[in-house]
Chains A and B, each alone.
Chain A
Amino acid sequence: MFEQLFPNVDWEKAWEKTVETLYMTGISLIWIFFIGVLLGLLLFLTSKDNLWENMIIHGFVASIVNIFRSIPFVILIVLLLPFTKIIVGTIIGKEAAIPALIIGSAPFYARMVEIGLREIDKGVIEAAQAMGAKTSTIIFKVLLPESMPAIVSGITVTAIALVGYTAIAGVIGAGGLGDYAYLDGFSRNNNDVTLFATLVILLIVFIIQFTGDYITKKIDKR
């Protein structure tokens, strides 16, 4: 039945492209998670009336985050080409997409982490201080566990956006399902290929959404 519905889909190639998309999404997501949590913590801790209140550092980090969050992703990839060339050694293929994916998404995620941290009751942090907790203890035993639902739901939203970004990256030579839909589908007028790639992307998004929601619900004891 599939063969009839999608006569022009090369199953082996489709699978390969799917794996490429998952690879790009997965590797970048790991980096985005760590960079985002780190930047989010930094934004939160250096903000006003907080543990490391420092308007200079806060202003600096906040403006970097805002700038990279504002550059349209297609433009960001192009802008980053020289940088990618130095780091990865090439500007073509799935590896080459990763720096742009990370730099494009981590600031967005950092803001979500910061918002999650802001939702923590100030009194809880104060209670930990009153118990004699060090800042590192407060970060690892209060801030991160208490904002975990926001951290997880944030990474879910970011992962979904990231799947979309890999498709854009695909169109300009990064491989993956976007590349497949554009080159084998659109360019050769094989609408079934485009449709198929879309369906696979939708499936990936649904799985991410479902898993993220499930984990968020599980860890949220509020």
Chain B
Amino acid sequence: MISVQHVKKIFPAKSEEVVAVKDVNLEIKEGEIFGIIGYSGAGKSTLIRMFNGLEMPTEGSIYIEGKDITRMKESKLRLARQEIGMIFQHFHLLWSRTVYGNIAFPLEIAGIPKKERDERVRELIQLVGLEGKENAYPSELSGGQKQRVGIARALANKPKVLLSDEATSALDPDTTDAILDLLVDINKKLGLTIILITHEMHVIKKICHRVAVMEKGKIVETGPVLEVFKHPEQPVTKRFVGQVTDAEDMKETVGRLLEKYQSGKIVKLTFVGEVAEEPIISTLIQKQLIVVNILHGNISHTRHGAYGTLFIHMDGKEEEVRNAIQFLLSRQIGVEVIEHV
């Protein structure tokens, strides 16, 4: 449905030109929620802005439903943009218009007659759960409500694609989850393709089908979310996966435990899919003559199953410990012995 081919973007600057995006290739399927994650400055913002021509690539093409968005005439591009919704980190609502007026704005642009517009706005207000707020001004709304207006506005002209530019980054965790649920809901109900960029792995984990990791203007890793969680290859990907699986004070704790427990081994276990829900540890203790001390655990639910990590300390005879590791490996569990922080 969407095909990005050899896209490159160079910003000319006085001293030295800035290469924001270099040779990006992507294929995004219809009805998919596709996440692009990267730290700030990775070029993800520039990339998403090229999907609707807010930024034009220096080289390469972007096809949306077979049409090359980068080679369109101004008037054609305007029509194409009506079929691509976009939501923003800071909402970008018109403060001079009410909720109703903001949602009606894209319909006015598309030249929809008043009566139809009225109906459509009412539908959208219901869809995003803002009944009763029609006549409120943006300044009277909370962040989450503002983003709901943004979403309703983006969906007004029944787009096939929704671009989300860090749409939850300015919201608190609870509101973030509510907005993400709304996006999943819309994706299912309307069959909408969603492309989102974020710097939070939590967002990817919660709603995306596939993810691309971006670093220094390049896509360094891409694949289904659970796969990327299981086998992160690049260091940057590992850091992002760590965002959701490792507690912040983990390193410190492990360091202290390594000092404290001179014997035995500290092991990081990773479970994927169904094994994450099996009683592995109790089986382990029954089978091997070792002492197990659970240090830290975490289960993340992605859209294609669970992904868990568990830090344990195993103590006992060296041979027993080795057998225990063999047993865990035989159960398709990732085992990583931690010897230093």
Contacts and interface: CB of A to CB of B under 8 A. Distances in A.
A123 B109 contact: no
A148 interface: yes
Contacts of B54: 126, 129-130
Interface string A132-156: 1110010001100110100000000
Nearest to A144: B96
B61 interface: no
B179 interface: no
A12 interface: no
Interface string A74-116: 0000000000000000000000000000000000000000000
Contacts of A221: 95-96, 137-139
A123 B138 CA distance: 15
Contacts of B52: 130
B307 to A, nearest CB: 35
Which bracket fits the contact residues of B? 20 to 34
A131 B93 contact: no
A127 B86 contact: yes
A200 interface: no
A132 B95 contact: no
Interface residues of A, number: 21
A6 to B, nearest CB: 47
Nearest to A219: B96
A124 B109 contact: no
B94 A131 contact: no
Interface string B71-100: 000000111111010101010111111000
A146 B96 contact: yes
B106 interface: yes
Given A130-B54, A222-B139, A123 B106 contact: no
A121 interface: yes
Interface of A: 121, 123-124, 126-134, 137, 141-142, 145-146, 148, 219, 221-222
9 contacts: A127-B88, A129-B81, A131-B81, A131-B157, A133-B109, A137-B108, A141-B105, A142-B94, A145-B96
Given A126-B54, A132-B81, A145-B96, 16 more contacts: A123-B90, A123-B92, A127-B86, A127-B92, A131-B82, A131-B106, A131-B157, A132-B78, A132-B110, A133-B78, A134-B78, A134-B109, A221-B138, A221-B139, A222-B95, A222-B139
